[in-house]
Amino acid sequence: MSAAASVTQLPTPYLLFLGDATEAAYAKTAFGLRDWAPEHCIGEWGCDTATISTGLPRLTPKEARARGARGLVIGIANTGGVIGPSWVPFLVEALESGLDIVSGLHVKLASVPALKAAAERAGRRLIDIRTPPPNIPCGTGSRRAGKRLLTVGTDCALGKKYTALAIARAFKARGVNADFRATGQTGILISGGGMPMDAVVADFEAGAAELLSPAADPAHWDVIEGQGSLFHPAYAAVSMGLLHGSQPDVVVVCHQPGRECVLGHEDFPLPSLAETIDLNLRIGRRTNPAIRCGGVSLNTAHMDLGAARELMAHEGARLGLPVADPMRPGAEFERLIDYCLG
């Protein structure tokens, strides 16, 4: 299945599989679908060792199938995109219960012999969406018409996708011609198309970003989901190619207050917001000399409203930029949208 496949071609509604996750950040696909495509989600399921929950009903595959589910989505985005050995019996049970399996992991479902055999026995599909289209060209660096906003971050899994979705929605609410451009598995499942940037061969990263956001009407905005971080010890290459190929006019920097180290790499402290803004602008100027920072998006889901607004006000004054949490509508977010639109 190509990265541009429509959601209507996928086996919705879904049962969300949480694997053996004990850290919510590694289940961002499940949470993203719950929050942005709830009409496609019937329930959740996972190994007995999983300690997180999306809050959806806990259903076995047979129960979910009886309620109308047609597919099981692997809701995990783990390091390396691998299928945990402990998951395999659960995935086989889902196939035998009449569900197709949808995965955004790097490891292909059919490469697991037990899954391939079970799918053939049950007549079910194994669907990998983390598959780039063929014949991606190298990037050209040539300027193209239209406007672009890219979300960037201090780390992985802290709000780049949610921020891009919220900004695209806010642009449209103001009558701006805008599209959300997905660059990862969850965004592709939510929007129905996109480019799985971290599955693209490195030489073609910038070209893939150019394909994702082609020339458009001068007043049109592409709001592009960021990936990784320029500071990440493993994933910076994806962030770099996406930044160069997107040629954003505006970047919005995303951060989770309280996170001090790179997720899964505790020996690497997170950069400051000022460092993150500076490095993204310096690198981004290579393909768009007019790039600017439109503001900061803070993921304050773990804070109460009063503390979150106090922090946003403090950081905004310190940085001289709008600072908001896009999931907390209000004056702060409206100022961020104003500044992004210029």
Q: What is the pLDDT of residue 286?
A: 97
Segment 251-283, tens digit of pLDDT: 999 999 999 999 989 999 999 999 999 999 999
Q: Has residue 124 got a pLDDT over 80?
A: yes
Same-domain status, 232 and 101: no
Instruction: Judge whether 62 lies within some domain.
Output: yes
Structure tokens at 45: 């399921």
Same-domain status, 184 and 317: yes
- Average pLDDT score over the chain: 94
Contacts of 334 (CB under 8 A, 6+ apart): none
Same-domain status, 24 and 119: yes
Instruction: Judge whether 44 lies within some domain.
Output: yes
> Under a CB-based contact definition with an 8 Å cutoff, are residues 22 and 151 in contact?
no
CA distance 253 to 264: 21
Same-domain status, 153 and 116: no
- CATH number of the domain that residue 37 is part of: 3.40.50.720
Q: What is the pLDDT of residue 192?
A: 86
Q: What is the pLDDT of residue 249?
A: 98
- Domain span including residue 17: 7-128
- CATH number of the domain that residue 170 is part of: 3.40.50.300
Residue at which a domain ends, from 69, 93, 128 = 128
DSSP states along 103-166: E-SSS-GGGSHHHHHHHHHHT--EEE---PPS-PPPP-----SSEEEEEEESSSSSSHHHHHHH
Q: Has residue 67 got a pLDDT over 70?
A: yes
13: cis peptide before it, omega within 30°? yes
Element of type H or E holding 247? none
Segment 1-29, tens digit of pLDDT: 333 334 447 899 999 999 999 988 889 99
CA distance 242 to 184: 12
Q: What is the pLDDT of residue 25?
A: 84
Q: What is the pLDDT of residue 119?
A: 98
Same-domain status, 116 and 251: no
Same-domain status, 69 and 152: no
| Residue 44 backbone phi and psi in degrees, to 5 | -130, 160
- What is the total count of domains within the chain? 2
Same-domain status, 155 and 289: yes
**Where does the pLDDT of residue 325 fall: very low under 50, low under 70, confident under 90, or very high at 90 and above?**
very high
**Where does the pLDDT of residue 145 fall: very low under 50, low under 70, confident under 90, or very high at 90 and above?**
very high
Segment 83-103, tens digit of pLDDT: 989 999 999 999 999 999 999
If you average pLDDT over residues 38-63, what whole number do you get? 96
Q: Has residue 105 got a pLDDT over 70?
A: yes
Q: What is the pLDDT of residue 9?
A: 79
Same-domain status, 166 and 276: yes
Same-domain status, 52 and 170: no
Packed helices 160-173 and 331-341: angle between N→C axes, nearest 10 degrees: 80
Segment 199-252, tens digit of pLDDT: 999 999 999 999 999 999 999 999 999 999 999 999 999 999 999 999 999 999
CA distance 109 to 91: 10
DSSP states along 6-33: -GGGS--SEEEE-TT--SGGGGHHHHHH
Same-domain status, 313 and 270: yes
Nearest to 323 by CA among 284, 279, 277: 277
Instruction: Judge whether 135 lies within some domain.
Output: no
Same-domain status, 204 and 317: yes
